[in-house]
Amino acid sequence: MVRGIHRYPPVDGVIYGIPLAEALANEIERLDAGAVYVMASGTLARETAVIDEVRGVLGNRLAGVCAKIGAHTPRIDVVAAANEARAAGADAILTVGGGSVTDAAKMVGLCLGNDICDPDQLDAFAATIAPDGKTVRPPVKPPGVRSIAVPTTLSAGEFTSFAGCTDTVHRRKQRYGHALMMPRTVILDPAVTIHTPEWLFLSTGIRAVDHAVEDICSVNPTPFSDGMSMQALRLLSRGLPAVKKDPSDLAARLDCQLGAWMSIMGSQNGVSKGASHGIGHVLGGTANVPHGYTSCIMLPHVLRFNASVNAERQKWVSEALGRPDLSAGDAVAELIASLGLPGTLRAVGMKAEQMDAVADGSMHDRWVHTNPRKIEGPATVRMLLDAAW
């Protein structure tokens, strides 16, 4: 008999299919926010009217705008934004952008709640993972300010209570978490994603596919995440090709957003990911590979590596993707190729001399240690990297 506990995340609500201006005006009024600090992707702020629309909605409630967050959420950018938000007396953060901006807002909240004014102070609050997989999480006070997230990509970090933040000096991505780091409200407006570069929208869609696939194939799946992950794959495998065919198809874009939301449900209830996520984290922090691309490249190979221990679960993946005749690894690879996305590490600019550092670093990521088929050490990771080369 299945046993477990399902815990609902500390999010007030998810607003979907309602235009941003309408949804934001209602939410700001509901929260009675008086000083909203806006964090946006630089391209969106410079080249579109979206942030001007946000300014119009907020009026004199606008406490400032930050459009200077780099890829992989550099901690120097995070602390600079936190210091600015603190000086402005912000009582809410609004993010409009992709995963790096979403994570940055979580980190700004952590900085404000834990009196962090200098990047080096963040070391004391980062989780550490030993080579044997043991995780140590230092005590962290609740974030000083919570956020409203308007995502423009599909990596689904707006639905989690943890964040990755990169120490660019030592080229390492560190992990931070607190239950209340999760955004208070998420607004899914497909029209906002029109401005997202095609490669980024589609590749982060594969990141969402990766969430769902590794939850289905997890060592500790739950009935709730199984159902959500299966529907996520149905929506994403339908929506992503439709957006590729017609970028103006808002219904398909919303399918992708809803699929991304559903893909992350396991993460909210302790379902462990596998090596695609674990290696991907290190490829991002060490080799600067965008997270969407890490999933495009690693997920098919990890599925093939794991097939000997979870073949029955992998059949669920093939079924949900509409390709029951294929192995899960081949079905995922077919979807990725149909979207014109890269499938090798060479194609995304990784250097051969970085391979060993990524293999060693991956053993310090917790998801490598919960991969369905045991990862014995860096040599096994290197084998997977070589397959993806």
Assign residue 179 the CATH number of its domain.
3.40.50.1970
In a domain, 293, yes or no: yes
Residues 380 and 322 in one domain: yes
Q: 203 with 293, same domain?
A: yes
Amino acid letter at 97?
A: G
In three-state secondary structure terms, 159 is helix
Is the separation of the CB atoms in 321 and 331 below 8 Å? yes
Residue 310 is encoded by which pair of tokens?
A: 């979870």
If asked whether residues 143 and 265 sit together in one domain, one would say no
Q: What is this structure's pTM?
A: 0.93
**Range in 97-111, 174-188, 282-296, 320-334 with the lowest mean pLDDT:** 282-296
| Residue 95 C-alpha from the chain's centroid | 14
Q: Are residues 206 and 183 in the same domain?
A: no
Distances (CA, A) of 168 to 74, 84, 89, 130, 359: 6, 21, 28, 21, 19
Examine the fold and report which residue of 175, 190, 205 is the final residue of a domain before the chain moves on. Answer: 190
| Chain segment 239-287, per-residue pLDDT in tens | 999 999 999 999 999 999 999 999 999 988 899 999 999 999 999 878 8
Distance CA 327, CA 265 (A): 24
Same domain, 144 and 60: yes
Cα 136 to Cα 369: distance, rounded to the nearest angstrom: 14
- 333 vs 245: CA distance, rounded Å: 18
Asked whether residue 1 is domain-assigned, the answer is: no
Given CA atoms 334, 336, 339, 345 in this order, what sign does their dihedral have?
A: negative
Q: For 195-239, what is each residue's pLDDT tens digit?
A: 999 999 999 999 999 999 999 999 999 999 999 999 999 999 999
Alpha carbon distance 118, 95 (integer Å): 22
Task: Give the Cα-Cα-Cα angle 180, 181, 184 (nearest 5 degrees).
Answer: 70
Out of 139, 169, 190, a domain closes at 190
Do residue 237 and residue 170 come from a single domain? no
What's the domain range around 162?
13-190
**What type of residue sits at position 270?**
G
pLDDT of residue 258: 98
Indicate whether 216 and 245 sit together in one domain. yes
Examine the domain organization and report whether 229 and 376 are in the same domain: yes
